[in-house]
């Protein structure tokens, strides 16, 4: 099929279409991972974005369905140099072509992904459009330009759960209320693996309703878009800080930063990949982490008398970890549950959550 990718700066490239015919609009972002495309494409944090893989061959081990991070593909579209139509893996159930078709999504292959990555790094993230079934470059550019800025969209409401649900760990494992701003399934799994019972609630759940679940702690999940859109999450942190331990991952980290009086900003092209180096300031150790975010907390806006920046990105110095000095509040910008990515920090983060819950339960008794 004919296909074209257009960018808001006037650039367009023609290639071969994948998935279904139609138009896809979103921010073009790139990720540097070369495995884990199944997890990335189903990560709700990519809602509103067209995902470009810098690795030239995607799809070689197929799609198993076993590592989905949500109920389906959340990225708006896919851009690759080459897609494999004959995958080889014992768990593969379909090719990436079939996956896109089944999900009703569109993609483009056979384009210069290196050029597109360099352009994004130089000029910053841009609005884009993929047209599958036509190759009119000027029309693709027009479609890219006419869409609203992603920061003005309420993407969280598109990916959060509609009703609360519970995923059980152990009867004596304690209870966490997880605010779902676009949660990845492996966050829940990492909690369950430690026996923790998880009640997942919509992003609009207020503090008074969260308390009704009698949680031992609250965890704010990852998710897409501007953290300023998570008004209820910010209010929950402000109201329950000091009442319960509060943890945050990715977007949840940014929400906590805002609730504590800090500021956030949109990054030039964000961090997306499975090899982001993060230095722990206390331990002097560098961890390799998995990340997917386009916004960051502003270190200069954080009140040093109240909170400490515990971890930083060694590439650009952005805030990767935050802890309150007096209250039980801790958050990280990266994904400790990984999937895809290294598990350097999985044990450190989730063991700390489990230990805090255990301490709270003992204190209550």
Catalytic residue numbers read: 250, 335, 337
Coil, helix or strand at residue 239: helix
Q: Residue 19 and residue 22: Cα distance in Å, rounded?
A: 9
Q: Residue 351 and residue 358: Cα distance in Å, rounded?
A: 10
Q: Environment class of residue 52 by beta-carbon count within 10 Å: exposed (0-12), middle (13-18) or buried (19+)?
A: buried
Positions of E strands within 181-263: 197-202, 217-220, 246-249
Closest to 278 (Cα-Cα) out of 335, 196, 339, 205:
335
How crowded is residue 115: how many other Cβ atoms within 10 Å of its Cβ? 11
The angle, 0 to 180 degrees and rounded to 10, between the axes of the packed helices 251-259 and 231-240 is 60
Positions of E strands within the chain: 2-7, 12-19, 22-31, 49-53, 57-58, 77-80, 82-83, 106-109, 126-132, 165-167, 175-180, 197-202, 217-220, 246-249, 264-280, 285-297, 307-313, 319-324, 329-332
The angle, 0 to 180 degrees and rounded to 10, between the axes of the packed helices 346-364 and 185-192 is 50
Q: Residue 269 and residue 50: Cα distance in Å, rounded?
A: 13
Positions of E strands within 213-255: 217-220, 246-249
Residue that is written with structure tokens 């519970």 in the block: 166
CA angle 228, 234, 236 (to 5 degrees): 155
Token pair of 146, please?
């006419």
């Amino acid at each position: 099929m004919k296909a074209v990718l257009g960018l808001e700066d006037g650039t367009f490239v023609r290639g071969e279409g994948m998935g279904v015919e139609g138009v896809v609009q979103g921010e073009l972002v790139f990720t540097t991972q070369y495995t884990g495309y199944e997890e990335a494409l189903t990560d709700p944090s990519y809602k509103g974005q067209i995902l470009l893989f810098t690795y030239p061959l995607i799809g070689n081990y197929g799609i198993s369905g076993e590592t989905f991070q949500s109920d389906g593909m959340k990225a708006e579209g896919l851009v690759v140099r080459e897609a494999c139509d004959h995958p080889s893996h014992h768990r593969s159930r379909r090719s990436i072509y079939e996956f896109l078709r089944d999900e009703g999504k569109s993609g483009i292959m056979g384009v210069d992904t290196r050029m597109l990555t360099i352009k994004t790094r130089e000029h910053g993230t841009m609005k884009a459009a993929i047209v599958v079934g036509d190759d009119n470059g000027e029309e693709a550019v027009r479609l890219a330009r006419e869409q609203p800025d992603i920061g003005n969209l309420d993407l969280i409401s598109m990916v959060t759960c509609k009703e609360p649900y519970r995923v059980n760990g152990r009867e004596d494992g304690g209870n966490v209320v997880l605010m779902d701003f676009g949660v990845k399934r492996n966050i829940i799994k990492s909690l369950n693996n430690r026996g923790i019972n998880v009640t997942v609630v919509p992003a609009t759940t207020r503090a008074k309703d969260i308390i009704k679940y009698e949680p031992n702690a609250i965890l704010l999940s990852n998710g897409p878009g501007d953290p300023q859109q998570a008004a209820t999450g910010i209010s929950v942190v402000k109201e329950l800080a000091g009442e319960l331990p509060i943890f945050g991952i990715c977007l949840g980290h940014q929400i906590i930063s805002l609730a504590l009086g800090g500021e956030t900003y949109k990054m030039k092209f964000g961090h997306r990949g499975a090899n982001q180096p993060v230095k722990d300031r206390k331990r002097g150790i560098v961890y390799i982490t998995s990340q997917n975010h386009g916004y960051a907390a502003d270190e200069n806006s954080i009140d040093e008398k109240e909170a400490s920046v515990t971890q930083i990105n060694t590439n650009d110095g952005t805030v990767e970890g935050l802890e309150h000095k007096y209250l039980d509040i801790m958050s990280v910008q990266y994904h400790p549950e990984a999937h895809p990515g290294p598990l350097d920090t999985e044990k450190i983060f989730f063991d700390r959550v489990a230990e805090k819950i255990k301490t709270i339960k003992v204190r209550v008794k």
